[in-house]
Amino acid sequence: MIGSFLSGKCLDVGCGIGDFVAYRQSTVGIDTNPYVVDFCRENGLEVHYYDGTGFPGDIGTFDSFLLDNVLEHIEDPNSLMMNINGHSRQHARLLVGVPCLAGYRADSDHKRFYDEVQLIKLLNDFGWREGKCMYVPAPSWCGRFLKINTLYIDARRA
């Protein structure tokens, strides 16, 4: 399902052990954890270490970006969003997933909660316009109880 929202060359930001990089062709991953970067590389995946400053590739390299359960771990997303903007092609797509309330509260590493309004505002502030908004696997109200419920927003570069 997630792959259907992304096109062309994709950057999986916070790719973890590289499941999506392995699943979808033309996808490159980045992560802040050097151990998972090494794991991915040992398994033949193109994954780069992200130190918070720059992305792999030239300006305008990527057609789409995936941030699946990443933003809530970042206190200040400005640098990340500016890197995404700098490396996105015209009319790029951005798919962002964040945990709903029960999932957010379940992890002490989460630093910032986003509801639908807050996430749309962040995207709009950086020049992204929301398209489809969805809750997976259940409707939005289930996020108060289900730790696995995730809000996804598919956005396009304005």
Digit-coded pLDDT (tens) for 90-129: 899 999 999 999 999 999 999 999 999 999 999 999 999 9
Alpha-carbon distances of 57 from 10, 86, 100, 122, 153, rounded to whole Å: 12, 11, 33, 25, 25
Q: What is the mean pLDDT of the chain?
A: 94
pLDDT at 146 over 90: no
Beta pairing partners, 136 = 150
Position 10 confidence tier, pLDDT thresholds 50, 70, 90: very high
The token pair at 16 is: 């973890």
Domains in the chain: ranges and CATH: 2-157 (3.40.50.150)
Q: Is the pTM of this model over 0.75?
A: yes
